[in-house]
Structure 1
Amino acid sequence: MTLMLAAADRGFTLSLNGMILIDQSPDHPAFYVGRGRERMDMYRGNFEIEDYLEERVPLTHAVVDGNHVHLSFAEGQPPAMTLIVDKGVIQCMAAGSHFNRFWMRVRAEAGEHVYGGGEQMSYFDMRGRRFPLWTSEPGVGRDKTTEITLRADLMGKAGGDYYHTNYPQPTYLSSRRYALHVDTTAYSVFDFRNEAFHEIEVWAIPRIIELFAKTTFVQLVDQLSRRFGRQPQLPDWVLDGAIIGLKDGENSLSRLDAILAAGVKVCGLWCEDWVGLRHTSFGARLFWDWRADETRYPNLKGRIVELRKKGIRFLGYVNPYLCVDGSLFHEAAMKGFLALTDMGGVALVDFGEFQCGVVDFTNPQAKDWFAERVIGQNMLDYGLSGWMADFGEYLPIDVHLRNGADAKLMHNAWPTIWAEVNARAVERRHMTGEALFFMRAGFTGVQAHCPLLWAGDQSVDFSRHDGLVTVICGALSSGLLGNAYHHSDIGGYTSLFGNVRTAELIMRWTEMAAFTAVMRTHEGNRPRDNLQIDQDEAVLHHFARMTDLHVRLKPYLKALSREARDTGLPLQRPLFLHYEADDQAYTIQDAYLLGPDLLVAPVWKAGESERQLYLPGPERWVHLWSGIEYAGGEEITIAAPIGQPPVFYRAQSSWAALFKGLAGNARPAG
């Protein structure tokens, strides 16, 4: 990769492998600095953010001195900022501390596509839209034109919008085969609305801006995954069936027995409520003290051993908060491990009729204590093989932390630190690649610590911005940045305002999940109001067949997991990753490649029994269920009854024999 700085008429150009990315002149400045006063209000993970911009000034005058660029407001004035260009990195050095806003413009081209931004749920191609990058609750509905989003906004500022995400990352990948990353944890914005340029906004002066370029997208993803961190292979056991999520106390075990009797392939039992419950006006909530409640689960440790003998692992739940009425809160407070208020007292966060302290992971001793005392002793030593590591996006922005950093600058960094705590606990027990924790929150570098993403809290429906289809977009966007493994709550999670699961939704979601890295169910936020997989005979039968199909895919998934370890390539891939010459492949976000050999186009709209889809070319594709061969480079309409999701394999695939064997496993339902 060659990054070339060249002086131009009263300005300069910066080229990457011959592509001009920055073209600075007095009439068209590429850099601006300014000052603003932000307002950030957090309410249970949701944020209202606005900026009062006091000044924005272009840096119109540039002097190139070797690999240094001195930028000033006008000729004859001292530099306000110096750029140092070296080996794919632009280092930014501001003169003084007056400015707290930064803008940079990168040249765009007609027809260019841009992807990334962390995990984006609504739009895979980000071109034409503006994306603030701030970890938060993604919101309910996420579409301001819908009633459910409006009602969620009115109820608790919780409606969200298309850009809200648990996992932002200031990195984008261009169809011009380059990527750009801003090394900052500050609130930032990627604005791709202008035809001539992409504008990057940061509410701080970024330390460095990194550029990457390769001749193919496969090579570029490999490069990015090495930069942000490679994940270990998936545990072998997780490919042996579905992880069944039940939160029904001791009754979870008897329900599991019935699910097994129906022929479901099960690799894990996931019980969020292993820590017990508290009852509030909002309903049952978990008791956030992170130790087994053997009143709710009698002899749980022994039951875990029994499950293990049957090839079934037990998984739980944890987050980085400690409830004030639990034993761990007092232990952490006595040791000085909790974040503080302005007055020096322990900062408490209201989670709805109970309060919690924030474990201060900027204190190395607190980080070690949580990894060993909570996760190591209370979870791994107890027998847990995995857990949901929740709420990484919830760091309050007004607390005082041990390292002295502004909580607004630590907020985006918090998910990565939280992932590191979990990974440290696993590593100390020599269980990396064996124990599996999964997270919804993320930021730069989470890839190096978190072995599996989950897509967060989708609505229990087929909606365009918060339903089934969004988890495909989330997998594709995060996968390009080195997150090889992605999965979701089968059937969705959020049920509000009378919005409840249908049997059709669960079955369609199950079909998609069978062709991802991990299958896992969730009872949702209102289990008693929503259909569960073991409450409908047709749903359970369908689920059993899909888990059997998933298990039959194990040799292929295992090979993809090894490839991910070695190259960083995600299991779920956009079509253009392997079909770069096919222009139409760059615009598709509701279908994906599972590895190089399978194309999956889930049915994501209610009431549909056929699906229009595009087969990339040049290639020949075999329909998994009928065996009919189709030419690539064409859009087709295929029958897709429940039980036969639209799946195709490459006619020349070395895995063709395995794929042919899947067809007899799943027939149309009913």
Structure 2
Amino acid sequence: MFRIKYTNLFPAYFSLFCFLILCFSTPANAQRKYQGHHLDGQNLVINVSDGEVMLRPFQPKILETQFYPKGVKTLPLSEAVVLAPSKLMPEVKEKDNVIYFSLEDGIQAEITKSPFHISYFLEKELLLRESEGYFDADTLKGFKFEIQDGEALYGGGERALPLDRKGYRLPLYNRAAYSNEEFAPQMNFGMPLMISSKKYALLYDNAPIGFIDVGKTKENELSFETIGGRSAYVIVAGKDYPEMLNHFTDLTGKQPLPPLWMFGNFSSRFGYHSQEEVLSTIHQFREKEVPVDAIILDLYWFGPEVKGDMGTLDWYKPNFPEPEKMIATLKDQEVKTILITEPFITTTSKKWDEAKDNKVLGTDHLGKPYVYEFFFGETGLVDVFKPEAQDWFWGIYKGLNNQGVAGWWGDLGEPEVHPTELHHVNGTADEVHNIYGHQWAKLIYDGYRKDFPNERPFILMRSGYVGSQRYGLIPWSGDVNRTFGGLTPQPQISMTMGLSGVPYMHSDLGGFVNWDYTQEDVTELYIRWLQYGVFQPVYRPHAQEQIPSEVIHYKGKAFDIVKKYIEYRYKMLPYNYTLAYKNSTTGMPLLRPLFMEEEGNKELINESETYMWGDDYLVAPITQKGARERSLYLPEGEGWYHLWSGKKYDGGQKITIDAPLDELPVFVKAGSIIPLSTKALQSTEQYDSKDLTFQIWRDADVDNHSITMYADDGKTFGNIEKKNYQLIDVLCNYSKKGIDITLSKSGDYDRAPSNRNITLEIHNVPTYPKSVGIDKKKMPAEECDMGYDASTKILKIKMKWSGEQKRILIRDGKPKE
């Protein structure tokens, strides 16, 4: 058995070596000569002196370019792309030195014969142009492109960097950035992907390790560089960001709809040591009436110590004597159980001999289990690419699922330590490193589809690849520092990943790494981070146990503030669930940069401190200790209402607003209609869309607005595809006389409410209404209850609704003189 003590040196020496190679190597295409071209079906094949170029369209606005060096007949399969090409009829023309390859209502490629390069256009506007195109610099191979003047480039995966990545050289090597704060150029979830402010996505469709150089080595040049693999890239275009994102997530896969309970509050820490502690924690949540939906068990569920037991993957019975009874008790309290798992099987764990005998581990060059040291002990690594290992690993998950476990936390899945010399069934560690977490998520997802086809999996992992969203992967930003510096980059990280097709990137709320802080030291940070958490994808406080992450262990003002915000998170459940539906059907992120709200404003191309939560909320987190005010920009186009005070602000201006400790600056777009839960919820299990409030932000400058709210059973996999859901439409027409509101419903699902209790909460109603009519102008006192608050100018109308189209006509009263 081969044993070494391994230290990961990537990218220190490798980065410098490759940088020098690229600086002093001769461009591979300096002598590239055009030799001819022909159509092969709908693909354009171009023969050049050093190989063959193929332009392969998927859809009118999705075009792949492949390069086959001389002697290469096939390329490795894509790990990112799942879309099959549509049948298209491209037009090919040739004029002088240029070949034109055009897709109707889509991308046009212009191939210049000499000097050879390719440019891409949409509606005659330049999107992208190769500089050197394909290159081979011995140790690194890839493609080089021009960066246009004024172009911002986003993406490259999870990084604590400015939103626009220009000027950085980004390692393509998934690696934990422990205790990260505002600057972390290499983190757990890299992607060979750039999203341009010119509204195209550029995917270098290649998994092995390498770099993205975004104008760092050579100004105004974008270079994708890897050690080998697939020599192809895909350009995805759109008339705007929503269209481009829809096409991109068609190409790489849409995120399946998560279980409804994922949008609730999690109880999580490193970690719960016993069954008694788990049950006591949830008892305190219920006793103190703090909503909670799930509890996550860190590594103590399989052993009493941090080191030595990783890989056991079974209950440590001295501390968890009756796990199935514990899980059942939690379920009775409407709480799901989630377990941590890791792909490392230490030699001291109870699964070591079994893993070795079943040949499920990565190997050395002789085919023997590759054993090495890392923080948790001497270990081997599950080869998740090997069919036998997949079956073995899934068997463990399946057994625990049958015990009642509802979700999975896959930790250390970069993998955290992955020696270059280790071999997988499909390649070396460096060739498959960046897709390890991606494949691990697929293993679990595929297992659910086979053995639990009606269940929606919950797969929390910190590492993945382009397209991992299609396996239901829910990523988080790793072991972030418990400081304001740790909080600051979180909106940028989430919005970058959302633009890259991965919508549920979130953080350990409150921060994870504690160092020598006391609870008093971090209380203000805790409040601010958990306030921000309400308006981002997953509400999961998590930290080292020296200072609790659960609000039940805070007192006084801190407890009151955070509890109030958690309650608002639950109130927003219909809104957030609808955002998830839109993401699963269109690829639109939940958390969005402001430049998507005001695309023409160049001042916003690098703005990440303020963001949109869905279409309606603008959020400005407080990321400075002691800050009690916040400067921010409100996009033009509509007015904006301060969520907590109702005060109106005009769009298209910078403002400074008070931000007392109990108040996160949040604004609502004028005219918005926001679906909310009328009932106060302690668990998402208590939500069934029967009691709904539509919060209507009437505004004199908005003529009309409409929304579509999504509702289903919250748990069955494939509801969208099976049409097992309802859509509730609310249309508001605003006028000087009053408001006309129309409710309608389409579709159905199992156990949908036959009747709903609807509250219309209408803001900015100047006086007590002259009349309120349902399908007619006469006030129907027998059909609804009505209340008006003159101090807030909020009108509430409550009524029962059985789903038929219903029109509510509200006529303003005369103002008092």
TM-score by length of 1: 0.82
Q: What secondary structure, in the 3-state scheme, does the structure 2 residue paired with 1:92 have?
A: strand
Give the conservation status (yes or no) of the 8 Å contact 2:11–2:171.
no
Q: What secondary structure, in the 3-state scheme, does the structure 2 residue paired with 1:534 have?
A: helix
Seen in structure 2, the aligned counterparts of structure 1 residues 403 and 659 have a Cα distance that, compared at 3 Å, is farther
CA distance in structure 2 between the aligned counterparts of 1:301 and 1:488, rounded to whole angstroms = 30
Give the conservation status (yes or no) of the 8 Å contact 2:180–2:479.
no
Q: 1:236 aligns with which of 240, 260, 280?
A: 260
CA distance in structure 1 between the aligned counterparts of 2:260 and 2:376, rounded to whole angstroms = 41
Q: What secondary structure, in the 3-state scheme, does the structure 2 residue paired with 1:488 have?
A: coil
Moved more, 310-319 or 387-396: 387-396
Q: 1:328 aligns with which of 351, 370, 373?
A: 351
Give the conservation status (yes or no) of the 8 Å contact 2:462–2:475.
yes
CA distance in structure 2 between the aligned counterparts of 1:172 and 1:476, rounded to whole angstroms = 13
CA distance in structure 1 between the aligned counterparts of 2:424 and 2:299, rounded to whole angstroms = 32
Residue of structure 1 in register with 2:714 after alignment: none
Q: What secondary structure, in the 3-state scheme, does the structure 2 residue paired with 1:558 have?
A: helix
Number of matched pairs: 590
Is 1:257 equivalent to 2:283 in the alignment? yes
Q: 1:295 aligns with which of 310, 314, 318?
A: 318
CA distance in structure 1 between the aligned counterparts of 2:407 and 2:9, rounded to whole angstroms = 24
Give the 5 Å matches for 1:61-460: 61-64=31-34, 65-66=36-37, 67-69=44-46, 79-87=49-57, 88-95=63-70, 99-141=138-180, 162-193=184-215, 194-204=218-228, 206-245=230-269, 246-249=271-274, 250-273=276-299, 275-279=301-305, 287-352=310-375, 354-371=377-394, 373-377=395-399, 379-394=400-415, 396-430=418-452, 434-460=456-482
Q: 1:631 aligns with which of 650, 653, 659?
A: 650
Give the conservation status (yes or no) of the 8 Å contact 1:362–1:401.
no
Residue of structure 1 in register with 2:797 after alignment: none
Give the conservation status (yes or no) of the 8 Å contact 1:649–1:659.
no
Q: What secondary structure, in the 3-state scheme, does the structure 1 residue paired with 2:633 have?
A: strand
Residue of structure 1 in register with 2:562 after alignment: 543
CA distance in structure 1 between the aligned counterparts of 2:204 and 2:518, rounded to whole angstroms = 39
Give the conservation status (yes or no) of the 8 Å contact 2:181–2:487.
no
Give the conservation status (yes or no) of the 8 Å contact 1:268–1:315.
yes
CA distance in structure 1 between the aligned counterparts of 2:267 and 2:260, rounded to whole angstroms = 13
Deviation of 1:605 after TM superposition, in Å, equals: 1.2
User: Which structure's relative contact order is higher, taking Cα pairs within 8 Å and 6+ residues apart?
Assistant: 1
Q: Structure 2: 5+ residue runs without aligned partners?
A: 38-43, 58-62, 73-135, 676-693, 698-760, 764-788, 790-817
Q: 1:521 aligns with which of 538, 541, 547?
A: 541
Deviation string, structure 1 residues 60-94 (Cα, Å, up to 9, x no partner): 234332245555xxxxxxx3343222321111122
Q: What secondary structure, in the 3-state scheme, does the structure 2 residue paired with 1:627 have?
A: coil
Seen in structure 2, the aligned counterparts of structure 1 residues 606 and 433 have a Cα distance that, compared at 3 Å, is farther
Seen in structure 2, the aligned counterparts of structure 1 residues 48 and 431 have a Cα distance that, compared at 3 Å, is farther
CA distance in structure 2 between the aligned counterparts of 1:563 and 1:289, rounded to whole angstroms = 40
CA distance in structure 1 between the aligned counterparts of 2:514 and 2:288, rounded to whole angstroms = 27
Aligned letter for 1:267?
D
Deviation of 1:588 after TM superposition, in Å, equals: 0.9
Moved more, 123-132 or 599-608: 123-132
Residue of structure 2 in register with 1:48 after alignment: 12
Moved more, 415-424 or 493-502: 493-502
Seen in structure 2, the aligned counterparts of structure 1 residues 350 and 169 have a Cα distance that, compared at 3 Å, is same
Deviation of 1:468 after TM superposition, in Å, equals: 0.6
Deviation of 1:402 after TM superposition, in Å, equals: 4.8
Give the conservation status (yes or no) of the 8 Å contact 1:192–1:199.
yes
CA distance in structure 1 between the aligned counterparts of 2:243 and 2:308, rounded to whole angstroms = 45
Seen in structure 2, the aligned counterparts of structure 1 residues 222 and 261 have a Cα distance that, compared at 3 Å, is same
Deviation of 1:96 after TM superposition, in Å, equals: 5.5
Deviation of 1:239 after TM superposition, in Å, equals: 2.8
Residue of structure 2 in register with 1:597 after alignment: 616
Larger radius of gyration: 2
Residue of structure 1 in register with 2:659 after alignment: 640
Percent identity, please.
Answer: 24
Deviation string, structure 1 residues 179-215 (Cα, Å, up to 9, x no partner): 1111111223222225533233232264211111111
Give the conservation status (yes or no) of the 8 Å contact 1:338–1:360.
yes
Deviation of 1:626 after TM superposition, in Å, equals: 0.9
Deviation of 1:410 after TM superposition, in Å, equals: 0.9
Residue of structure 2 in register with 1:9 after alignment: none
CA distance in structure 2 between the aligned counterparts of 1:662 and 1:474, rounded to whole angstroms = 35
Deviation of 1:244 after TM superposition, in Å, equals: 4.1
Residue of structure 2 in register with 1:479 after alignment: 498
CA distance in structure 1 between the aligned counterparts of 2:308 and 2:657, rounded to whole angstroms = 44
CA distance in structure 2 between the aligned counterparts of 1:63 and 1:509, rounded to whole angstroms = 57
Deviation string, structure 1 residues 349-404 (Cα, Å, up to 9, x no partner): 32336222211122112112211x21111x21121111211111126233443525
Aligned letter for 1:475?
S
Give the conservation status (yes or no) of the 8 Å contact 1:439–1:450.
no
Give the conservation status (yes or no) of the 8 Å contact 2:66–2:232.
yes
Q: Give the root-mean-square deviation of aligned CA atoms.
A: 2.7
Q: What secondary structure, in the 3-state scheme, does the structure 2 residue paired with 1:61 have?
A: coil
CA distance in structure 2 between the aligned counterparts of 1:385 and 1:274, rounded to whole angstroms = 18
Give the conservation status (yes or no) of the 8 Å contact 1:242–1:265.
no
Seen in structure 2, the aligned counterparts of structure 1 residues 386 and 346 have a Cα distance that, compared at 3 Å, is same
Give the conservation status (yes or no) of the 8 Å contact 1:624–1:659.
no
CA distance in structure 2 between the aligned counterparts of 1:220 and 1:43, rounded to whole angstroms = 41
Deviation of 1:318 after TM superposition, in Å, equals: 0.5
CA distance in structure 2 between the aligned counterparts of 1:308 and 1:351, rounded to whole angstroms = 36
CA distance in structure 1 between the aligned counterparts of 2:640 and 2:201, rounded to whole angstroms = 31
Q: What secondary structure, in the 3-state scheme, does the structure 2 residue paired with 1:361 have?
A: coil
Aligned letter for 2:272?
K
CA distance in structure 2 between the aligned counterparts of 1:654 and 1:498, rounded to whole angstroms = 43
Seen in structure 2, the aligned counterparts of structure 1 residues 399 and 124 have a Cα distance that, compared at 3 Å, is same
Give the conservation status (yes or no) of the 8 Å contact 1:264–1:543.
no
CA distance in structure 2 between the aligned counterparts of 1:276 and 1:456, rounded to whole angstroms = 22
Seen in structure 2, the aligned counterparts of structure 1 residues 46 and 498 have a Cα distance that, compared at 3 Å, is farther
Q: What secondary structure, in the 3-state scheme, does the structure 2 residue paired with 1:528 have?
A: coil
Seen in structure 2, the aligned counterparts of structure 1 residues 408 and 531 have a Cα distance that, compared at 3 Å, is closer
Residue of structure 1 in register with 2:120 after alignment: none
Give the 5 Å matches for 1:470-509: 470-496=489-515, 502-509=522-529
TM-score by length of 2: 0.68
CA distance in structure 2 between the aligned counterparts of 1:315 and 1:374, rounded to whole angstroms = 14
Residue of structure 2 in register with 1:667 after alignment: none
CA distance in structure 1 between the aligned counterparts of 2:762 and 2:532, rounded to whole angstroms = 15
Give the conservation status (yes or no) of the 8 Å contact 2:246–2:586.
yes
